[in-house]
Amino acid sequence: MDRKKKIYLAGPLFSHAELEYNRKLRDLLLNKGFLVFLPQEDAEDCTEEREKQNQEHIFRKCVEGLDNSDIVVAVLDGADVDSGTAWEIGYAYAKEKPVIGLRTDFRSLSDGVVNLMVEMAIVALARDENELLKTMERFR
């Protein structure tokens, strides 16, 4: 039996809309047979926990999640990529883990889709959830 691939889902998690979108993506990926590490839940990264725990605890749980993942899916929406997401992309790149970007935002920079360093660190870029799921088939 094949081992299920584990995805680390990187993305902003500071608004209700971002939190809900992350959960939607997690559920889509789970339904496709992947395991998913969702930092906002699996690293207990939320306002209440930030008040109860120190930042180092959340950081360590996220690094552990990245280390134990096979693939990173990174939400790249916004005028600029979320700084935490950019760090997670760089860390995954350094660990030679494939990073798949998801950018549903139609805005782009004059010289690329996202920041050059982020764009060069990803192995594929999907423009919507359906394209992401099709891309993920290559990584089963």
Q: Show pLDDT as tens, one digit a residue, over the chain (140 residues).
A: 578 999 999 999 989 999 999 999 999 999 999 999 999 999 875 566 566 667 888 899 999 999 999 999 999 998 889 999 999 999 999 999 999 999 998 876 556 778 889 999 999 999 999 999 999 999 98
- Cα separation, 9 vs 23, in Å, equals 10
In this structure, is residue 73 part of a structural domain? yes
In this structure, is residue 37 part of a structural domain? yes
In this structure, is residue 140 part of a structural domain? no
- Cα separation, 66 vs 39, in Å, equals 10
- Cα separation, 66 vs 62, in Å, equals 6
CATH code of the domain containing 46? 3.40.50.450
Total domains in the chain come to 1
Tokens read off for 113: 């889709």
What is the extent of the structural domain holding 107?
Answer: 6-135
In this structure, is residue 1 part of a structural domain? no
